[in-house]
Structure 1
């Protein structure tokens, strides 16, 4: 009994003073006679995997994604104003184009272009804002939507196939651009786009992105040269 108390006190001393060179024996730690070094390494790895840490300063990985990015500085007023102004100008120009195209029953102010605006103006350095990613995904996913509609007709089978194929297409071509995944569903559910057939791959998604890219260049220039 005395020996067990001595071992327990030595083990607690090691926990309180990690810089101590004392290393408690394996069977004093676990109460087992046959614990080898490999078992101790496996236990340490399991503790790290489940977030069991000794320091209270480390946050659990479960909550990290619910917090703002660490080390990111608060945005300046110009970092807010110029992207917002770019988004306003984009929707205003697309709305003016809608008035011109109204006799043909085509609209340029489609929801995916609103998502593209957020990506281009708010996160211009993100992978989804790369020009290759944007145009490859916009054209490819829109064409997939047309193909799915002509193959399955309107309904959930066409939507399911189109979305799955769009995700696979973006992965295979390394052109991840989340707003493009909504283009196939927009075509399948939007009767006004059906008469475009495969022209839908270029219009209005890809054509609208050209306009948004021009506005993005203006926004980036203003952010770099007119700060406040």
Structure 2
């Protein structure tokens, strides 16, 4: 069964004739959709508007006629999400500050991670090596504060860390230092993460660190494993402790 969208006439305007049908079963899945005088409409911040009017709003904006209404596509997206549309400038509606334990344990884990990496730096200093690099700080934020996010998956993290670091070494070897190597390495790293399904934002900075960091360049292709991937092994261990503490010791 399909629902035929009928044009709504406005004074001084030509009626908009939709050239498609909206499947009734699809519309019924939208949480913010309600019946308005027997016709299907969409609820926005408590008010219900008919779909035909929303389509007319979209046509007026496309033709440069202004209009402050939301587009039909954004209305559908809001209905699917089941929440009001936000411009991102404020916290989500219903946001409640987490308990103190959910703030303390991730913060303590980040402190312990950087302290342990710093201690390892002291041991490796005679060999000219360092474990404390900026991308690992971003990895801490992902693993400890958002452990259920896609970027925190072990596959994403290690695949991206190793692959992007190797791309940085390869770009430096072929192109030398400079803007061309940096831009090529970053573009290739983005393509690699998308192709392998291993998006992990902190890894995108590893090629730039190698190309611009003379103290890393002597590692050559060992840079694919150290310090990024090697540091992530330690951070994953600390993450398990943080998750355990968050679950067992709440306050």
Q: Does 1:91 align with 2:108?
A: no
TM-score under structure 2 length normalisation: 0.72
- TM superposition shift of 1:194: 1.0
CA RMSD after TM alignment: 2.7
Change (3 A) 1:130 1:24: closer
Residue-by-residue CA offset, 1:146-186 (whole Å, 9 max, x unaligned) = 00000110111110001111111111011110000000000
- Structure 2 CA distance for aligned equivalents of residues 141 and 80 of structure 1: 31
Q: Which structure: larger Rg?
A: 1
TM-score under structure 1 length normalisation: 0.79
**Structure number having the greater strand percentage:** 2
Q: What residue ranges of structure 2 are gaps of 5+ in the alignment? A: 1-5, 20-51, 71-77
Alignment match, 2:18: 38
- Structure 2 CA distance for aligned equivalents of residues 119 and 36 of structure 1: 48
- Structure 1 CA distance for aligned equivalents of residues 84 and 242 of structure 2: 38
- Structure 1 CA distance for aligned equivalents of residues 149 and 95 of structure 2: 15
Whether the 8 Å contact between 1:98 and 1:106 is mirrored in structure 2 is yes
Alignment match, 2:165: 142
- TM superposition shift of 1:43: 1.6
| Aligned pairs (5 A) from 1:184-223 | 184-223=207-246
Q: What residue ranges of structure 1 are gaps of 5+ in the alignment? A: 1-22
Larger RCO: 1 or 2 (CA < 8 Å, sep 6+): 1
**Structure number having the greater helix percentage:** 1
Change (3 A) 1:25 1:192: closer
Q: Does 1:104 align with 2:85?
A: no
Alignment match, 2:27: none
- TM superposition shift of 1:44: 4.2
- TM superposition shift of 1:64: 2.1
Q: How many residues align?
A: 198
Q: Which of 102, 105, 108 is the aligned partner of 1:79?
A: 102
